[in-house]
Amino acid sequence: MPWVVGIDEAGYGPNLGPLVQAAVALKLPASDPAGWETLKPAVRRCREKADGRLLIDDSKKVYTRGGLEALERGVTPLIPWSADMKELIRKVCSPACGSELAAEAWYDPDQRLPLTLDRLALEDEWKQREIPPYPEGGRFTVTEVVSVVPTPRFNRIVDEFGSKATVLSRGLIELITELTTDELRKGDEPLVFLCDKQGGRNYYAALVQEAFPDGWVVTEKESAEESRYRVENLPRAVTISFRPRADGDSVSVALASMLCKYLRELCMRQFNRFWETHVPGIKPTAGYPVDAKRFYDEIQHAMTKLGLTADQVWRKK
């Protein structure tokens, strides 16, 4: 069975807090790369009635429906057991990413996880649901990697390349490189990458070539509906597609979307809690424009006292 790799992001638009990108790889039948039919015994979408199956969908829809608890319930089966934030970041992020996050003033590595659920009770519930064709107690055959980009790194990339979009491109290449040189390097199953379109662009051949320097990128389609490429001259078949709203088309992308949103929400809760200790009574922010400006204005005095510069807190673009 091929590995179907979904890639998505959360936090690209805000001025405050980190950008999070994730790649989630599921082994799925070639006849059902989207995965919705294969996983139907245990997975439902937002448009379906609640019936005990896990809610997996576009993270914005899931979060609107059930908040952080719904996200946590959906991603818990796919992320490694982690007692706290530090352990989770160590397991799903690169060491460099973990070091950059640890340097953030607001970051709390000792945050206990999960926040809203009893993990053991949830895992017992999940094991009772067998997901064909996976007999391992109903577990996904899954691997995942995550990139968390704090504000200082975000600004350094913008300074170097002059473009906010480059932050997404750099992250995408890093995710693909890490995924294909780690867990998935051992086999010869086809790799099918499904990505949400980045900033409305339609041309990704150069980016794909950089992600697969040993391959030869062949453009199959470039349009507003889909940009699709195959990479030849590699030990295994590789295709990569970019589609708008891909998180609605694929379980893999939906899970990547939910994992990004979950980690972004964990970080923003820590971010708001940190600033609340230094600016008592400040209203929490999600970090998006307009409200982010309000929040940033209110923390100026505290930033000066803490010795934090604008580049450490506010994204340039």
> What is the predicted pLDDT for the residue at 184?
60
> What is the predicted pLDDT for the residue at 135?
39
pLDDT in tens, the chain (317 residues): 899 999 999 999 999 999 999 999 998 988 999 999 988 888 899 999 998 888 999 999 999 999 999 999 888 877 888 899 999 999 999 889 999 999 999 999 999 999 998 877 776 776 666 544 443 444 467 888 999 999 999 999 999 999 999 999 999 999 999 888 755 667 788 999 999 887 678 999 999 999 999 999 999 999 999 999 999 998 899 999 999 887 778 999 999 999 999 999 999 999 999 999 999 999 999 999 999 999 999 999 999 999 999 999 999 88
Residues 6+ apart with CB under 8 A from 283: 295
CATH code, domain carrying 167: 3.30.420.10
Which DSSP string do the residues of 54-99 spell out, in sequence order?
EE-S-HHHHHHHHHHHHHHHHHTTTSPP-SBHHHHHHHHS-HHHHH
> What is the predicted pLDDT for the residue at 130?
55
> What is the predicted pLDDT for the residue at 199?
67
Q: How far apart are CA 259 and CA 92, in angstroms?
A: 11
Q: How far apart are CA 67 and CA 59, in angstroms?
A: 10
Per-residue tokens: 132: 């064909």
> What is the predicted pLDDT for the residue at 1?
84
Do the beta carbons of residue 194 and residue 159 sit within 8 Å? no
Tell me the pLDDT tens digit for each residue of 81-119: 889 999 999 999 988 999 999 999 999 999 999 999 887
Q: How many domains in the chain? A: 1
Q: How far apart are CA 160 and CA 305, in angstroms?
A: 29
> What is the predicted pLDDT for the residue at 3?
92
SS3 298: helix
Q: Are strands 191-196 and 3-10 parallel, antiparallel or unpaired?
A: parallel
> What is the predicted pLDDT for the residue at 136?
45
Residues of the domain holding 54: 3-313
